[in-house]
Structure 1
Amino acid sequence: MADTTVKIDDTTRDRLKALADGAGMSMKDYLAQVAAEKEQERLQDTATAAFRRAISAPGVVDRFDTEFGGLPAAVKRENPQAA
Protein backbone atom coordinates (compact mmCIF):
# COMPACT_ATOMS: atom_id res chain seq x y z
CA MET A 1 0.00 0.00 0.00
CA ALA A 2 1.35 3.41 -0.91
CA ASP A 3 1.93 6.05 1.73
CA THR A 4 0.49 9.55 1.48
CA THR A 5 0.83 12.84 3.30
CA VAL A 6 -1.85 14.50 5.40
CA LYS A 7 -1.50 18.14 6.33
CA ILE A 8 -2.22 18.89 9.98
CA ASP A 9 -1.16 21.69 12.26
CA ASP A 10 1.97 21.35 14.38
CA THR A 11 0.04 21.09 17.64
CA THR A 12 -2.03 18.16 16.41
CA ARG A 13 1.05 16.46 14.96
CA ASP A 14 2.86 16.84 18.27
CA ARG A 15 -0.10 15.42 20.19
CA LEU A 16 -0.36 12.44 17.86
CA LYS A 17 3.38 11.85 18.03
CA ALA A 18 3.29 11.91 21.84
CA LEU A 19 0.39 9.44 21.87
CA ALA A 20 2.17 7.16 19.41
CA ASP A 21 5.39 7.34 21.40
CA GLY A 22 3.49 6.57 24.60
CA ALA A 23 2.04 3.49 22.93
CA GLY A 24 5.48 2.48 21.68
CA MET A 25 4.35 2.76 18.07
CA SER A 26 5.26 4.69 14.96
CA MET A 27 2.80 7.44 14.11
CA LYS A 28 1.83 5.51 10.96
CA ASP A 29 0.96 2.38 12.96
CA TYR A 30 -0.72 4.41 15.69
CA LEU A 31 -2.98 6.23 13.22
CA ALA A 32 -3.87 2.92 11.55
CA GLN A 33 -4.85 1.54 14.97
CA VAL A 34 -6.92 4.63 15.80
CA ALA A 35 -8.72 4.35 12.46
CA ALA A 36 -9.50 0.67 13.09
CA GLU A 37 -10.75 1.44 16.61
CA LYS A 38 -13.00 4.23 15.32
CA GLU A 39 -14.44 1.91 12.66
CA GLN A 40 -15.15 -0.69 15.35
CA GLU A 41 -16.84 1.92 17.55
CA ARG A 42 -19.07 2.95 14.64
CA LEU A 43 -20.04 -0.67 13.98
CA GLN A 44 -20.81 -1.20 17.67
CA ASP A 45 -22.93 1.96 17.75
CA THR A 46 -24.87 0.74 14.71
CA ALA A 47 -25.39 -2.71 16.26
CA THR A 48 -26.45 -1.19 19.59
CA ALA A 49 -29.01 1.04 17.88
CA ALA A 50 -30.41 -1.94 15.93
CA PHE A 51 -30.63 -4.01 19.13
CA ARG A 52 -32.42 -1.21 20.98
CA ARG A 53 -34.91 -0.87 18.12
CA ALA A 54 -35.51 -4.63 18.15
CA ILE A 55 -36.15 -4.92 21.88
CA SER A 56 -38.34 -1.82 21.93
CA ALA A 57 -40.94 -3.58 19.78
CA PRO A 58 -44.01 -4.45 21.86
CA GLY A 59 -43.85 -7.89 23.46
CA VAL A 60 -40.31 -8.78 22.40
CA VAL A 61 -38.82 -8.74 25.89
CA ASP A 62 -41.78 -10.64 27.32
CA ARG A 63 -41.49 -13.32 24.61
CA PHE A 64 -37.76 -13.58 25.27
CA ASP A 65 -38.35 -13.99 29.00
CA THR A 66 -41.00 -16.65 28.34
CA GLU A 67 -38.75 -18.56 25.96
CA PHE A 68 -35.52 -18.32 27.94
CA GLY A 69 -36.66 -17.86 31.53
CA GLY A 70 -35.77 -14.20 31.96
CA LEU A 71 -32.70 -12.84 33.63
CA PRO A 72 -30.92 -14.95 36.24
CA ALA A 73 -31.63 -14.24 39.88
CA ALA A 74 -29.17 -11.92 41.57
CA VAL A 75 -26.18 -13.75 42.98
CA LYS A 76 -26.06 -13.59 46.75
CA ARG A 77 -22.61 -13.35 48.20
CA GLU A 78 -21.64 -14.52 51.64
CA ASN A 79 -19.57 -11.39 52.20
CA PRO A 80 -21.00 -8.47 50.22
CA GLN A 81 -18.32 -6.08 51.48
CA ALA A 82 -15.46 -5.01 49.26
CA ALA A 83 -12.13 -6.67 49.94
Structure 2
Amino acid sequence: MADTTVKIDDTTRDALRDLAAGEGLSVKDYLAKVAEEKKRERALRTATASFRRVINEPGIVDAFDSEFGGLAKAKGSTPQAA
Protein backbone atom coordinates (compact mmCIF):
# COMPACT_ATOMS: atom_id res chain seq x y z
CA MET A 1 0.00 0.00 0.00
CA ALA A 2 1.38 3.39 -0.96
CA ASP A 3 1.89 6.10 1.63
CA THR A 4 0.45 9.58 1.22
CA THR A 5 0.82 12.95 2.89
CA VAL A 6 -1.93 14.70 4.81
CA LYS A 7 -1.63 18.37 5.69
CA ILE A 8 -2.53 19.16 9.30
CA ASP A 9 -1.72 22.03 11.60
CA ASP A 10 1.22 21.86 14.00
CA THR A 11 -0.99 21.51 17.07
CA THR A 12 -2.76 18.46 15.64
CA ARG A 13 0.56 16.97 14.50
CA ASP A 14 2.01 17.37 17.97
CA ALA A 15 -1.08 15.88 19.60
CA LEU A 16 -0.91 12.86 17.27
CA ARG A 17 2.79 12.41 18.01
CA ASP A 18 2.11 12.49 21.75
CA LEU A 19 -0.79 10.06 21.50
CA ALA A 20 1.20 7.70 19.29
CA ALA A 21 4.22 7.84 21.60
CA GLY A 22 1.95 7.03 24.54
CA GLU A 23 0.92 3.85 22.73
CA GLY A 24 4.50 3.06 21.71
CA LEU A 25 3.59 3.48 18.05
CA SER A 26 4.64 5.60 15.12
CA VAL A 27 2.09 8.20 14.00
CA LYS A 28 1.45 6.09 10.89
CA ASP A 29 0.73 2.96 12.95
CA TYR A 30 -1.28 4.92 15.49
CA LEU A 31 -3.52 6.40 12.81
CA ALA A 32 -4.04 2.94 11.29
CA LYS A 33 -5.06 1.67 14.74
CA VAL A 34 -7.44 4.59 15.28
CA ALA A 35 -8.99 4.04 11.83
CA GLU A 36 -9.66 0.37 12.65
CA GLU A 37 -11.13 1.29 16.04
CA LYS A 38 -13.42 3.84 14.43
CA LYS A 39 -14.58 1.29 11.84
CA ARG A 40 -15.43 -1.15 14.65
CA GLU A 41 -17.24 1.56 16.58
CA ARG A 42 -19.33 2.43 13.51
CA ALA A 43 -20.18 -1.24 12.93
CA LEU A 44 -21.17 -1.60 16.59
CA ARG A 45 -23.40 1.50 16.42
CA THR A 46 -25.08 0.10 13.30
CA ALA A 47 -25.57 -3.32 14.91
CA THR A 48 -26.90 -1.75 18.11
CA ALA A 49 -29.40 0.38 16.17
CA SER A 50 -30.56 -2.70 14.24
CA PHE A 51 -30.89 -4.71 17.45
CA ARG A 52 -32.93 -1.96 19.09
CA ARG A 53 -35.23 -1.72 16.05
CA VAL A 54 -35.80 -5.47 16.11
CA ILE A 55 -36.49 -5.82 19.82
CA ASN A 56 -38.99 -2.97 19.63
CA GLU A 57 -41.08 -4.92 17.11
CA PRO A 58 -44.21 -6.19 18.85
CA GLY A 59 -43.85 -9.81 19.95
CA ILE A 60 -40.15 -10.22 19.13
CA VAL A 61 -38.90 -10.34 22.73
CA ASP A 62 -41.69 -12.73 23.74
CA ALA A 63 -40.92 -14.96 20.74
CA PHE A 64 -37.22 -14.96 21.63
CA ASP A 65 -37.94 -15.80 25.25
CA SER A 66 -40.35 -18.56 24.18
CA GLU A 67 -37.86 -20.06 21.73
CA PHE A 68 -34.74 -19.80 23.88
CA GLY A 69 -36.14 -19.84 27.40
CA GLY A 70 -35.29 -16.25 28.24
CA LEU A 71 -32.29 -15.19 30.25
CA ALA A 72 -31.12 -17.09 33.29
CA LYS A 73 -32.84 -15.76 36.38
CA ALA A 74 -30.59 -13.61 38.47
CA LYS A 75 -31.45 -11.82 41.67
CA GLY A 76 -33.28 -8.62 40.81
CA SER A 77 -33.51 -9.24 37.07
CA THR A 78 -36.40 -9.98 34.76
CA PRO A 79 -36.52 -13.21 32.76
CA GLN A 80 -36.78 -11.41 29.42
CA ALA A 81 -34.12 -11.13 26.72
CA ALA A 82 -34.23 -7.37 26.63
Determine if the TM-score, normalized by the shorter chain, exceeds 0.5.
Answer: yes
Give a deviation string over 1:39-68, Cα, whole Å, max 9, x none: 110011101111111111000001111111
Which residue number in structure 1 is paired with residue 79 of structure 2? Answer: none
Residue aligned with 1:58, SS: coil
The code of the aligned residue for 1:67 comes to E
Structure 1: stretches of 5+ with no match in the other structure: 76-83
Of the two structures, which has the highest relative contact order with CA contacts closer than 8 Å and spacing of 6 or more? 2
Q: TM-score, normalised by structure 1?
A: 0.86
% of aligned pairs identical? 68
User: What SS does structure 1 have at the residue aligned with 2:55?
Assistant: helix
* Stretches of 4+ aligned residues off by more than 4 angstroms: none
1:21-32 → structure 2 map (5 Å cutoff)? 21-32=21-32
Q: Which residue of 1 aligns with 2:43?
A: 43
Structure 2: 5+ residue runs without aligned partners? 76-82
User: CA RMSD of the aligned region, Å?
Assistant: 1.4
1:44 corresponds to which letter in structure 2? L
Task: Trace 1:57-76 onto structure 2 (pairs within 5 A).
Answer: 57-74=57-74
* Counterpart for residue 17 of structure 2: 17
SS in 2 for 1:72: coil
